[in-house]
Amino acid sequence: MAKRDGRSLAAGPHRLQTLIAVILLGFIVLTIRLFTMQVVKHEEYAQFARDNQLQRERIPGPRGFMRDRSGRIIVDNALHFEVVMQWRSRNDVVTALRGLSTFIPVDTTRALARFDAWQKRYGRVEFPLFPDADKFVISFIRENWSQFPSLRVQSRMRRSYPPGGIAAHVFGYVGEVTPDDVAASPEGRYVPGDFLGKAGLERQYEEMLRGTPGQRAMEVTASGTSLGEVPELSIAPVPGKDLNLAMDYHMQAFLDSVLSLRPNPSAAVVLDVKTGGIIAATSHPAYDPNEFAMGVSPSLLGDLLNDQTKPMFNRISHARYPPASTFKMIVTYAVLTNRIVDPSRVLVYCTGSHRFGNRVFRCWEEKGHGGMNLTSAVVHSCDVYFYRVAEMMDVDVLASAAAAFGFDRKSGIDLPIEVAGNVPSRRYYDKRHGKGRWTQGLMLNNTIGQGEYLGTVLHVARMSAAIANGGWLVEPHFVDHAADEPPTEWPRTKIEDLAGGTLTFLQRAMLLVVEQPGGTAHWLRLPWLRFAAKTGTAQNPHGDDHSWFTAYAPADDPQIAVALIIENAGHGSEVAGPIVRDFLAEYFRADKPAPGKLTRSAPPPPRTLPAGADTAFAAGVMW
């Protein structure tokens, strides 16, 4: 059966004829099509080509907003207008500028300088002649369109941030796309002149925040009169997704305003102890992201980058400090879990210094603390006790305790740049000094948080949060969820052995730092709010000591944990402590403006900041 017309007919004449017929048919169809278009309907197309043309305008999709936990919009879009110009040569621009300058004030030299930079960067694409045109310019150009047909007015959205740089390092900023950005992204996503997130949440969540551009197709006659939109070729832009932050904007503004009263650089993080949601975080000094929203001027950027205090440096996730005495909580955890010392035993009599070999290690309290057990050593932050502990503790025991609290890795915060802490292990020292060429003496600095141990404020904050919440290491994050999306599940991990007696011990010790007379933060206690804390003073070879303070509150039902470092400010209890105390007082004060529950499905509130008491407050302090 299969042989019937198989081989015998292969390459036979009828196969050739069929192939020729099919191909001929194809050519006939194409010829008919061309005949219809070019001869029969020629007039129609020709008239369209002659009289009308289709113009299209790209409508950028608005960026998503950022809302705080009550749903109020914190990062917004503001409308502005720009005048763009189609050009073929530099001469076109010169002519247009000359023509315009007889009617409206134009800085021709500056505009041409900008044009040259633009041309060099992007080549022959529309040039934004007036990136931020005022009403006068716009109405002039709209009225005299026939004289300047190469000019076009288009609306644009500009990013608008809280003024004065509140949480600037958190939000980050947007910047103009570079040619590399355009080339690296799918075609049509970005065009020269678009903005995208360059730092902070703006960059981290660029994919969600950015809108999808649309286009408006217009039929325009040769004389420039618009015949109206062509709906079949128009497409509506899609706004980006709104981000709902865990941030409490009132507290964020409070934190920024208090810290900006000092010139010292500082960094702070306030965590929701249960979820890891960041209620407030700041890095001071900062910049004003609004200055970046239209493209930052080179002189301002130069000033910011040359500033000694490094305002562009994000100290929240990028700056590592010695954790100083706040680290004693982790040493205590290591002591308890490894049963190195009986916690109730008076281990040392502190005279203000401790001799190890032929070196003398000093306690911060020169007069000495007297007899110390583990609890009182934490409460008084007695260095001598911890020097003694260091002599008994293996390097890797402390390293694994620090690792349990996440100091050896990044915290996982949703910012584009983060550094891990540093946890020196036996291998680390062997590599650094050579095997057997280092002594236990190194541990004496480690147990008071002054050695090679390093961490960011995030590491310290989540340490306090873990002690507060019953032993869970949370992942700090700003974004609770994106609009219309289910809440992101942020992972948290149980810290081994941080439970039962160990946990109670650590919690009680931190509480007594505040509540017990003689505790390093006793003078900060609030009669109406029991909170637990640990102070720290990080010795700094380059200048004055850094002031550390970490706390959680309320002590009986912990809700938030705070970590704050102020560079070169002195003792933790004297500088950072009062600020954290004030923050807690403001957060928990009964008549505070409603902190707002995290809205997850409620209708979006009005799109402008209501003139509430808190904005008035912020205005009073900040500006």
Partner 1 sequence: MVRRGRDFDWIAVICTGILMLVGLSIVYSVSHSVGEVSPEALSGSHFTRQLLWLGLGVVTMLLAFAIPFRWFESLAPAVYVACLVMLVVVLLLPARGETQRWFIIGPLAIQPSEFTKVAVILVWARLLASPRADPNRLRTLLPIVVLFMVPFALVLKQPDLGTAMVFMGVLLPVLYWRGFRGLHILFLLSPLVSSVLIIYGENVTHNPWPFGIFIVLILVVAYLRRAFLFESVSLVVANLGIGLFLPVLWDHLKPYQQRRVTNFLDPDSDKLGAGWQVIQSKIAIGSGGFNGKGYMEGTQKALEYVPAKHTDFIFSVLGEELGFVGAVAVLFLFAVLISRALLAAQKMKSEFAGTLCVGIAAYFAFQVFVNIGMTTGMAPVAGIPLPFVSYGGSSMLVSCFLVGLLLNCSARWSEY
User: Taking CB under 8 A as the rule, which mask of x and - marks residues 463-482 in contact with partner 1?
Assistant: --------------------
Please pick, from the candidates 95, 144, 215, 337, the single residue that binds partner 1 as defined by CB under 8 A: 215
Question: Between 31 and 493, whose beta carbon lies closer to partner 1?
Answer: 31
Q: Which stretch binds partner 1 (CB under 8 A): 45-53, 334-342, 479-487, 576-584?
A: 45-53
**622, 164 in Cβ contact below 8 A?**
yes
Q: How many CB atoms lie within 10 A of CB 26?
A: 10
228 belongs to the binding site for partner 1 (CB under 8 A): no
Nearer CB in complex with partner 1: 58/320: 58
Q: What angle do CA 205, 552, 413 make, to 5 degrees?
A: 20
**Contact between 317 and 413 (Cβ < 8 Å):** yes
Question: What is the DSSP annotation of 384-452?
Answer: HHHHHHHHHS-HHHHHHHHHHTTTTS----SSS-----B---HHHHHHHH-TT-S-THHHHHHTTT-SS
Task: Give the nearer residue to partner 1 in terms of CB position, either 186 or 620.
Answer: 186
Burial of 110 (C-beta count, 10 Å sphere; 0-12/13-18/19+): exposed
b/e 468-486 (16+ beta carbons within 10 angstroms → b): bbebbbbbbbbbbbbeeee
C-beta of 10 vs 590, nearer to partner 1: 10
CA–CA dist 218, 551 (Å, integer)? 61
Question: Contact region for partner 1 (CB under 8 A) — 1-9, 169-177, 390-398, 607-615?
Answer: 1-9
39 touches partner 1 (CB under 8 A): yes
222 binds partner 1, rule: CB under 8 A: no
DSSP class of residue 535?
E
Nearest approach, Cβ of 91 to partner 1 (angstroms)?
Answer: 14
Dihedral sign, CA of 529, 530, 531, 535? positive
Which residue lies nearer to partner 1 by CB, 1 or 590?
1
What sign results for the dihedral spanned by CA atoms 430, 433, 437, 443?
negative
Task: Provide the minimum distance between the beta carbon of 129 and partner 1 in the complex, in angstroms, as a whole number.
Answer: 16
Q: How far apart are CA 511 and CA 293, in angstroms?
A: 45
Site mask for partner 1 (CB under 8 A), range 525-544, x = bound: --------------------
Q: What is the contact mask toward partner 1 in residues 73 to 102, using x (rule: CB under 8 A)?
A: -------------x-x--------------
User: What is the smallest separation between the CB atom of 115 and partner 1, expressed in angstroms?
Assistant: 15
Nearest Cα residue to 46 out of 56, 55, 38, 54: 38
* Token pair listed for 499: 């439970």
Which CB, 44 or 485, lies closer to partner 1? 44
Pick the piece of the chain touching partner 1 (CB under 8 A) from 203-211, 212-220, 240-248, 407-415.
Answer: 212-220
Closest approach, Cβ 428 to partner 1, in A, equals 35
From 178-186, 381-389, 431-439, 518-526, span contacting partner 1 (CB under 8 A) = 178-186
Among 101, 103, 134, 188, binds partner 1 (CB under 8 A): 188
Q: Pick the closer one to partner 1 by CB: 184 or 305.
A: 184
- Nearest approach, Cβ of residue 178 and partner 1 (Å): 14
Read off the tokens for 338.
Answer: 């490894």
Q: In the set 95, 144, 185, 400, which binds partner 1 (CB under 8 A)? A: 185
Interface pick for partner 1 out of 109, 146, 186, 606 (rule CB under 8 A): 186
360 binds partner 1 (CB under 8 A): no
Q: How many residues bind partner 1 (CB under 8 A)?
A: 58
Nearest to 83 by CA among 119, 137, 120, 122: 137
130: three-class secondary structure by DSSP: strand
Spatial distance between the Cα atoms of 188 and 425, rounded to a whole number of angstroms:
50
Angle made by CA atoms 581, 582, 585, in degrees to the nearest 5: 85
Nearest distance in Å: CB 233, partner 1? 5
CA distance 126 to 118: 10
- Interface with partner 1 by CB under 8 A: which range of 210-218, 245-253, 462-470, 548-556? 210-218
Contact 612, 248 (CB under 8 A): no
**Complex with partner 1: residue 215 or 375, whichever CB lies closer:** 215
Q: Which of 12, 610 has the CB closer to partner 1?
A: 12
Q: Are 215 and 55 a contacting pair, CB within 8 Å? A: no
Kindly identify the residues of this chain, within the stretch 390-449, that bind partner 1 according to CB under 8 A.
Answer: none
> Which residue of 104, 112, 125, 403 would you call a contact of partner 1, by CB under 8 A?
125
User: Token digits for 455?
Assistant: 């961490």
**Residue 115 interacts with partner 1 (CB under 8 A)?**
no
Residue 237 beta carbon to partner 1: minimum distance, rounded to whole angstroms: 11
Judged by CB under 8 A, the residue of 105, 123, 500, 603 near partner 1 is 123
Q: How far is the CB of 214 from partner 1 (least distance, A)?
A: 8
Q: How far apart are CA 177 and CA 198, in angstroms?
A: 9
Q: Which residues of 372-404 are buried (b: 16+ CB within 10 A; e: fewer)?
A: bbbbbbbbbbbbbbbbbbbeebebebbbbbbbb
- 34 near partner 1, rule: CB under 8 A: yes
Question: Contact between 235 and partner 1 (CB under 8 A)?
Answer: yes
Closest to partner 1 by CB, 5 vs 391, is 5
The only residue of 217, 301, 420, 619 in contact with partner 1, by rule CB under 8 A: 217
Residues linked to residue 66 through DSSP beta bridges, in sequence order: 75, 243
CB nearer to partner 1: give 89 or 439: 89
The answer to whether the beta carbons of residues 548 and 564 sit under 8 Å apart is: yes
Among 44, 107, 229, 391, binds partner 1 (CB under 8 A): 44
Q: Is 116 in the site for partner 1 (CB under 8 A)?
A: no
* Residue 45 touching partner 1 (CB under 8 A): yes
d(C-alpha 205, C-alpha 481), whole Å: 11
Residue 485 has phi, psi (to 5 degrees) of: -120, 150
Interface with partner 1 by CB under 8 A: which residues?
A: 1-2, 5-7, 9-11, 13, 15-16, 18-20, 23-24, 26-27, 29-31, 33-35, 37-39, 41-42, 44-46, 48-50, 53-54, 56, 86, 88, 122-125, 183-188, 192, 213, 215, 217, 232-235
